[in-house]
Amino acid sequence: MPTQSGLSSAVFVLDALTIVCFAAVNQIVPRPYLDEIFHIPQAQAYCDNKFDVWDPAITTPPGLYILARLYSAMLSPIVGSRNACSPMMLRSLNVVVFVFILPKALSLLAGPSSSATGRRRRDSEILRFAPPLYFFTFLFYTDMVASLLALLSVGLARAYPSYTPSSASWVVVIAKCAVGMLAISTRQTNIVWVAYAFASELLDGFVYCGDNASPVETTVHNLSSLLSVPLLFVRCLKPALVRLYSRVFATPGGIRDITRVLFAYTPVLVSFALFVHVNGGITLGDKANHIPALHIVQLLYFAVFACIMQAPVLLLRRNAGDMIVTRSLRALATHPVQSVLALVAVLWTISKFTIVHAFILADNRHYTFYINRRVLNVTPWARFALAPGYLLCLRAALIERAAPRARVLDSVLFWGAAAAVLVPSPLIECRYFIVPYFVWRSSAMIEGSSDTDRSDGETAKTRETARWAELAWYAMINAATVALFLLVSFEWPSEPGEKQRFMW
């Protein structure tokens, strides 16, 4: 069986290759590329202390550029003030975050328990290499820092709950508030994950307690079909509210505990509400091309994306003795009426809520351009033919791949947060799936089993093999996308002599 030391060695090799890839990117693509033409000059203006300069084409707040200014100040004594804010140095911020800070944030996502520290550390090390975040390690985009802060907000909520009395409880509260403020200063949609962290603490500390026989404790593995989710959610809601009221007002220390939780998150939520009021909306800058829409199909795309990223696990891991993908197919076949109704709902969603943004049609540098042209719209009926695949991926992602003890309200909360982030966006971008995928994948790190053999027929060896297969799968995708970016280029007739490259 692969050992922890073996995995650590593999991770070390991949980190070393990351440094090599970073050097190659800066050698082959030294000038700002694509969205970097906005981000790098803006950061350099801040490096020159020109804080009154702002590019109206930028749609996110200035948090990244402020952090870049601080980072360049740290580098100045080493590389000189003239080079500290060069494109390569600005890009290196993401590499530092990836190698040294992201692993800590991902380990927090596994929660506070120390009973499975080794397993969770292995899972978090693997998750760090998940595409497409890995690709954006090499470019000065907002994705790495913004994703880190969103994940850190969720991780702090899981690992250091504010409702638990401790000598450092108010330090934790202040840290959560500060991380939340930083998170929304780098990307507006991070407010959703701050709110998700807030709601998670309310569920864990004030609802999920007491009698395990309560319907509140019902897990997603008790669901017979996807259509059971809304019905079971309604069933859980009333006892959940009763528990919340009782825990706060009828339990000693309840007011004190919820006060700490409120202080950790309400300043962030109120600050964001004030920003939206003053700004006249969520989007900064180029509002015309970022008008919110009702793009519900994004959730279907995300389910497919998650299952593709987890393909080795779905094929190797077992749930109640069966492969996850096999169990999902059997569950759909066992409930034909419910499956047909769910399929009709998927088809209706595709018909009514599919949006093709002008950027997708125009920019042939992105993979989504080819997915839209050669998969989703290769024929007039192609998008509908994919409906059974969407349904299978939804079943696998929502029920079968969830942690064994994942509760219905937790799942509804996650998918509600994912919808709040993805559905308003008319543009299909795989990088929009990064934080939802990491939060979803991390739920499977919080498992109630040990690494010993289990009664469902899955052995520790099988789980370790799946971990290695997942890491290898990520590495293959990353190698292919980075190599394609570096080695294949083309020119647009409108921009002769300017090399264009393929990317996420």
Please give the pLDDT value at position 324: 80
**Which residues lie closer than 8 Å to 121 by C-beta, 6 or more apart?**
4, 107, 110
Question: Could you give the maximum distance between any two Cα atoms of the chain, in Å?
Answer: 72
Residue among 178, 109, 126 at smallest CA distance from 6: 126
Please give the pLDDT value at position 364: 95
Each residue's pLDDT, cut to its tens digit, for the chain (504 residues) gives 456 678 889 999 999 999 999 999 999 999 999 999 999 999 999 999 999 999 999 999 999 999 999 999 999 999 988 899 999 999 999 999 999 999 999 989 887 754 456 677 788 889 999 999 999 999 999 999 999 999 999 999 999 999 887 757 889 999 999 999 999 999 999 999 999 999 999 999 999 875 555 667 677 766 666 777 788 888 888 889 999 999 999 988 899 999 999 999 999 999 999 999 999 888 887 777 778 899 999 999 999 999 999 999 888 876 656 778 888 888 889 889 989 999 999 999 999 999 998 889 889 999 999 999 999 999 999 999 999 999 999 988 887 776 656 788 988 999 999 999 999 999 999 999 999 999 999 887 655 433 444 445 556 788 888 889 999 999 999 999 999 999 999 999 999 989 999 999
CA 377, 350, 325: angle at the middle one, nearest 5? 90
Please give the pLDDT value at position 335: 87
Rounded distance between C-alpha atoms, residue 395 and residue 332, angstroms: 8
Please give the pLDDT value at position 234: 85
Q: In 97-224, where does DSSP find H-type helix?
A: 102-109, 117-127, 143-159, 169-186, 190-206
Rounded distance between C-alpha atoms, residue 440 and residue 422, angstroms: 14
Please give the pLDDT value at position 399: 78
Q: What is the DSSP letter of 2?
A: -
Residue 101, Cβ density class (10 Å: 0-12 exposed, 13-18 middle, ≥19 buried):
middle
Give 415-423 contacts, CB < 8 A, sequence gap 24+: 415/299, 417/192, 417/193, 417/195, 417/196, 418/299, 418/302, 419/296, 419/299, 420/189, 420/192, 421/189, 421/192, 421/193, 422/295, 422/298, 422/299, 422/301, 422/302, 423/294, 423/295, 423/296, 423/298, 423/299
